[in-house]
Structure 1
Amino acid sequence: MRLLSTKDFKVKEFFTDIPLYAILSHTWEQEEVTYQDIQNLDVAKSKAGFLKVLGACARARHYHFDWIWIDSCCINKESSAELSEALNSMYQYYEDAAVCYVYLSDVSRDYHPRSNFKDSRWFRRGWTLQELLAPEFVVFLDRNWERIGTRWSLRDLVSVATGIPVDVLKGQIISKYSIAQRMSWAAFRETTRPEDQAYCLMGIFGVSMSPIYGEGGAKAFMRLQQEIIRISDDRSIFAWVAAPSMDLASSEEDKPRGLLARSPYEFRMSGDVRPSITEVMGNKSSYSFNNNGLHIHLPLNPTSSSSVHSGEDMFLAHLLCQSTRDGSYLTIYLRKTSGHQYVRCYADEILLTSSPPAMERVRELMVREHLVTGRRFRISNTSGATKYNIELLRSAWDFLYHSSQPDSCIVSCIDEHTVSVIRKMDWGVIQYKSQKTGDLFGIDLTFSKPALKMNGGTFIRDASVRRDTLQGKLNGGGYIFIASERTGDPQEKIEIGYLAKDDPEICLWTSPLRVPDLGIIVSSRLSTKIVDYHLKFEGVFPPDPFCRITQDMVYATAFRPHPDDLQESHHTFRVLTFRWDDWDGQWPTYIIHVAFGLQGSSVWTDVVVQNPSFHRETSERVWKSYLESGTRAQKRTKGMEVKSKVDSETLTAVIQKANNLQLGDYLLRMHIQ
């Protein structure tokens, strides 16, 4: 691999004895510095992207790294062989780095410091998924290269932004999660080249494949699945739901399919799918992909006559997977075409059943595909340091070094806010005191991970290798934070931050992540007797951090009241707003507000239809009308079906309990009759 010198910006290639290095994760912008550019510094400096190279190298150099890897200028993309090697090795590059700097060029500390960073486009890019998961230590930086936090300290917000479970961000081995669930983490991400939707996932699944730009995204993704099948018998790889056709007049999702998906987006509903339990299959658990389709053993049940999709040749095939939500079993529809050959039908559905598969019904079959044109173990670099550099961040400048206790350390001041510490004994505590409030805290350096000593007494420590940030409450009501920053030399860096008791950010740092009690999908299709109309989503109020918006639906959430939620930040109901523009001119434009939520243990909905030419309420005003003192408060007891007048027609909205694999437990559909 090639590395960039943080001192003179020269690129050097290493084959063995690779030095300790930092690595940069970023989103590409205008005039990035390429490998060819960096060979001539005058050319490189003329590019706008050189400021990013300067910032990354300065950050790494500050923490004593002599080398850094930056994809834009460390890969010779003019060589197809080198590009192929780099794409297949990318996950390993990030995994082996001492620290990964995530540079968010569209985030500023003037506005966040935690509240809006999750809206960065970095969280929507395909390649950044592995760059989030592979490194051991990840630091998020704003546009001015100021530290926002780490993957550990921001794990709740990163989980909300990405859909990745908090345990993964804390260091849980990702291979323990099902293929379907890992695919779902990439479902809402985008890449510039369609083939990269597959190539960017190779490292996450531990496979390699040659990139062939120009083959198309669907074909590349099918090749990726074939490579995964070679090393895994987890049948959750078949737990996907077909993406709807953009052409509402056609019914693409009803066309026969095979068992392989066409894009990560088709796994958008699969975040709660467990790995398949293949032990019950014995020696029939393996399956393979041949030139005439996928050969596999599956439990098959004929569809009942009461089923919507029934017939002599229609079967329900069990995938041997369960939902983590309620333990339901996942089944798909297969239609027999001849002999042992089958195709998947109704690919936009995965039926959830309460009954386990009947193993006496296991059949050997071949599903025809409609073809379209490991991590290695890493030794953790734990500290065990005897030398420390302790720096007060700007938020904590009111605190000053007070003393070491008793005389266990040699302390020297580097500047007004930074001290250098050499631990003389097997233990040592460095104390700080506020000039304004008199608050005291100490940093205990006894163990391999620093601990906090609060208010002269209580210790806060965590032996977890992954944990890099500790927080403690001071007597004055504020919070102190210490973060261990990875460096390129044996000296460990400790940074200290502070939040005052009246800072609204405190609840973000100290409140545990609450999982929504209600998740609902609202279809963006408005059905009439003749045709389905597409509704344009305009927004949700109050804002929902768990919200997901796709071409055919909106997923939103609500909570039950909780006595500890003093700020009422976990809302019990929300309002989704859609715009209906009738393309054939038979109807005027309408604004449709869909309210939904929880009232006790019951789910309710209501619809407000307005013609903006005459009158339009904002989403916020509509939401406030459902409060206890609002004009529509009684609507919250009306139940799961509601009707509203649209001229001479009636718009009906119905919430139903989901019986297919989807995000959340409920589905709301709207139709006019």
Structure 2
Amino acid sequence: MRLLNTKTLQLEEFVTDIPPYAILSHTWEKEEVTFHDLQNLETARTKSGYAKLWNACARALRYRFNWIWIDSCCINKESSAELSEAINSMYQYYEDAAICYVYLCDVSSKYPPRNPKSDFRESRWFSRGWTLQELLAPLHVVFLDKAWKRIGTRWSLRDVVSAVTTIPVGVFEGRAIDEYSVAQRMSWAAFRETTRPEDEAYCLMGMFGVSLPPIYGEGSTKAFIRLQQEIIKISDDRSIFAWVAETSQKDEQRGLLAKSPYEFRMSGEVMASKPDVIGARSSYSFANNGLRIHLPLEPTGFSHDEKSEKHVGAFINYEEVIFLASLLCESVVDGNYLSVYLRKTGEQCFVRCHSDEMVLRPSPPTLDNVCEVTVRENATLRRLQATRGTGTSDIFHVILLPSAQHFVCAEPRHFRGSKSASVDLHRLPDISLVYDHPGGESFILNLDRWGSTPSFYLQQKNTIRGTVACRDHPHVDSILGQLDSGDYISVNSETRGDFGINLEVDYIPKHDPNIEFLSETLRPPELGFIVPLNLELFDQYRDIEIFPSDLFGREISTDVAYVTIFHTENGLTSFSHCPFRIVTYKLIWYTIHVAFGVEESVAWTDIILQDDQSKETSEEVWKSYLDYGSRAERRLNGQTSSSVSAKFFISNISLSLTASVEKRTKVQLGSHLLCLESKQEVISRWLSE
């Protein structure tokens, strides 16, 4: 691989004995510095992208890294052989890096990422295909804002990153991604985009441990099918077939392979299949006439009029029968089993029909109708991330940031009065650094070894309130402890190129408006609604708003959005964990607020119609449904009725809108559907007549 020297900005190639290096993850902007630009630094300095390159090197050099890898300049993209090697090795490059700097050029660190005002969640970086592996592969990840100021780490922001990406928090806490089903991993890429269509598939190779020769020009569908074929060679996880086509393609005859990662958008809940229940018959492979696989089949009915049924004695000709084929996969949400529809087209030949649906069945499939045995291949999985070394030694460099420099080290004696300290745990297995300041506040930073892992944790001088121990988990790189005064001490670790660790101590006053977003951990939502983004017959929109803003929600298409809610807890609710939300449709003359949620496990909905004279905002409407609000009774009464309607007039037309809540009957994001039906009626008589 080719690395960039952070001091000289010269490129050097390494085949073996690769030195410790940092790596940059970013989204491409105008005038990136390329491999050929670096052959002449004067030329490189004229490009706007030079500032990014220089800042990345400066950041790495600050932490003692002499080398950094940046995709824009460390690959000669004019060489097709080198480009192919880099594409297939990219995951490994990020996996082997000592640290990954994620530069978010469109994010400001003014607000913490948990603050709804933060633009962290909206960063373009989270929508790009290649950045998925750049998030997953490295051992240490640091997020930097547009001014190259540290926002946090993948560990410290794991709950926020999970909410934004739909990737389970466990992945960021060290659980190997190979433990998640193929469908789940595909779902992480469902809403990501790439500049070149084929890269939708190529950017996922490392995550599944397969290789593909890139063929630009083959199109995204061919590339993605090739990717699935390679995965099938090393895995018998049938969740790879658990996808849902767009509704517009429901009548299209399909095979068992998806066309794009987007078709796995509903598959985040699909667990890996349990093929052992059918023994050796679990094997499947490709032949020249398609995929040969053994599936439990259950006839559901005839695809044409029943008059076309052909009976021979007790035998039914199944040429026109649609079957439910079980994938032997369960839903992690409710334990139901997943099946897809197959239609027989010839002797032992089937196509998938109704491909916009996956059916949930409460009981496991019967195994009365399973085809003959095929040869099974053993899986060859990539090495797990957890087997890698940490790339650091036992030397801690404790640094008080300017905000914390009113503290002074009081113990041990040889560090007394210092603002920084370097501790080698090989020579000193454990040490407690006591910090005091004249105002009376104090804290202890403990450094020790836990097994083979160096660790650090905070402790009060006279009490252990607020103690956070890094040794509880080897991936912890940020801790937050509260002092007796109510103020906070934050300690962030960052890997250095000389195999040391910087511990940077920050002081945060309790009145800091962002402290609640630093100390609170997001809780994954229990429930979700599919919400329509347009109303049939109502086309005079000015705006659509969902309140409160939803960190876990997302717009699935131009027609619908996925919105999450939480179970009611202890009466009053907060914005972050609310059990109901408001979707507001702002028309030219009217504003329609539709409230929906779950109260004591029962779904409810309500409609509020306002004319253009009303000053009530979405937030005010939302607050009115709280326990002390004017509409609280409507929420509570919603326990007995999940269907409400409203009628109003525009010109000489009477419009009515009915809202209802339905529980899902097929695989989809969320547990419920918010259904809105509208009707119009022309009024023939007017009062003036």
TM-score (norm: length of structure 1):
0.89
1:581-638 CA distance string (max 9 Å, x none): xxxxxxx8865432201222221112345676x7685423432443445554443223
Q: Distance in 2 between matches of 1:470 and 1:341?
A: 58
1:14-41 CA distance string (max 9 Å, x none): 1111111110011111111111111111
Match of 1:176?
A: 179
Match of 2:71?
A: 71
Q: Distance in 2 between matches of 1:267 and 1:113?
A: 27
Match of 1:249?
A: none
Is the contact between residue 547 and residue 618 of structure 2 (CA under 8 Å) also seen in structure 1?
yes
CA offset at residue 194 of structure 1? 1.6
CA offset at residue 446 of structure 1? 5.2
- 1:361 equivalent among 360, 369, 382: 369
Match of 2:165?
A: 162
Match of 2:293?
A: 296
Q: Distance in 1 between matches of 2:429 and 2:206?
A: 41
Give the match's secondary structure for 1:363: coil
Q: Using a 3 Å threshold, how does the CA distance of structure 1 residues 622 and 82 change in structure 2: closer, same or farther? A: same
Match of 2:4?
A: 4
Are 2:396 and 1:393 equivalent residues in the alignment? no
- 1:267 equivalent among 247, 264, 269: 264
Give the match's secondary structure for 2:250: helix
CA offset at residue 431 of structure 1? 1.8
Q: Using a 3 Å threshold, how does the CA distance of structure 1 residues 388 and 265 change in structure 2: closer, same or farther? A: same
CA offset at residue 437 of structure 1? 4.3
Q: Distance in 2 between matches of 1:7 and 1:258?
A: 54
Which moved further from structure 2: 474-483 or 192-201?
474-483
Q: Distance in 2 between matches of 1:341 and 1:365?
A: 17
Q: Distance in 1 between matches of 2:571 and 2:659?
A: 33
Give the match's secondary structure for 1:355: coil
Q: Using a 3 Å threshold, how does the CA distance of structure 1 residues 663 and 486 change in structure 2: closer, same or farther? A: same
1:635-669 CA distance string (max 9 Å, x none): 32233222222543433222111111111111122
Q: Using a 3 Å threshold, how does the CA distance of structure 1 residues 446 and 288 change in structure 2: closer, same or farther? A: closer
Question: How do 1:536-615 and structure 2 match up within 5 A?
Answer: 538-551=544-557, 552-563=559-570, 569-578=576-585, 591-608=591-608
CA offset at residue 101 of structure 1? 0.7
Q: Distance in 2 between matches of 1:579 and 1:231?
A: 52
Q: Using a 3 Å threshold, how does the CA distance of structure 1 residues 48 and 114 change in structure 2: closer, same or farther? A: farther
Is the contact between residue 126 and residue 197 of structure 1 (CA under 8 Å) also seen in structure 2?
yes
Unaligned runs of 5+ in 2: 310-317, 375-380, 680-689
RMSD: 2.9
1:147-178 CA distance string (max 9 Å, x none): 22111111111111111111101110000100
Are 2:40 and 1:49 equivalent residues in the alignment? no
Q: Distance in 2 between matches of 1:270 and 1:218?
A: 19
Match of 2:656?
A: 650
Q: Distance in 2 between matches of 1:467 and 1:575?
A: 37
CA offset at residue 565 of structure 1? 7.9
Q: Using a 3 Å threshold, how does the CA distance of structure 1 residues 365 and 672 change in structure 2: closer, same or farther? A: farther
Q: Distance in 1 between matches of 2:595 and 2:61?
A: 53
Question: How do 1:101-116 and structure 2 match up within 5 A?
Answer: 101-112=101-112, 115=115, 116=118
CA offset at residue 335 of structure 1? 1.0
Which moved further from structure 2: 152-161 or 565-574?
565-574
Q: Distance in 2 between matches of 1:269 and 1:256?
A: 20
Q: Using a 3 Å threshold, how does the CA distance of structure 1 residues 308 and 427 change in structure 2: closer, same or farther? A: farther
Are 2:24 and 1:24 equivalent residues in the alignment? yes
Is the contact between residue 111 and residue 514 of structure 2 (CA under 8 Å) also seen in structure 1?
no
Q: Distance in 1 between matches of 2:209 and 2:173?
A: 20
- 1:280 equivalent among 270, 277, 280: 277
The aligned amino acid for 2:38 is: I
Are 2:379 and 1:376 equivalent residues in the alignment? no
- 1:481 equivalent among 490, 507, 514: 490
CA offset at residue 278 of structure 1? 0.7
CA offset at residue 305 of structure 1? 8.6
Which moved further from structure 2: 593-602 or 60-69?
593-602
CA offset at residue 45 of structure 1? 0.7
The aligned amino acid for 1:481 is: S
Match of 1:206?
A: 209
Match of 2:198?
A: 195
Match of 2:642?
A: 640
CA offset at residue 536 of structure 1? 9.0
CA offset at residue 433 of structure 1? 1.7
Which moved further from structure 2: 106-115 or 305-314?
305-314
Is the contact between residue 526 and residue 535 of structure 1 (CA under 8 Å) also seen in structure 2?
no
The aligned amino acid for 2:642 is: M
CA offset at residue 275 of structure 1? 0.3
Unaligned runs of 5+ in 1: 246-251, 367-373, 581-587
Is the contact between residue 442 and residue 460 of structure 2 (CA under 8 Å) also seen in structure 1?
no
Q: Using a 3 Å threshold, how does the CA distance of structure 1 residues 339 and 536 change in structure 2: closer, same or farther? A: farther
Give the match's secondary structure for 2:247: coil
Match of 1:238?
A: 241
1:39-91 CA distance string (max 9 Å, x none): 11111111111111111111111111110000000011111111111111000
TM-score (norm: length of structure 2):
0.87
Match of 2:218?
A: 215
- 2:145 equivalent among 133, 142, 145: 142
Q: Distance in 2 between matches of 1:425 and 1:69?
A: 35
Match of 1:36?
A: 36
CA offset at residue 344 of structure 1? 0.9
Q: Distance in 2 between matches of 1:534 and 1:225?
A: 44
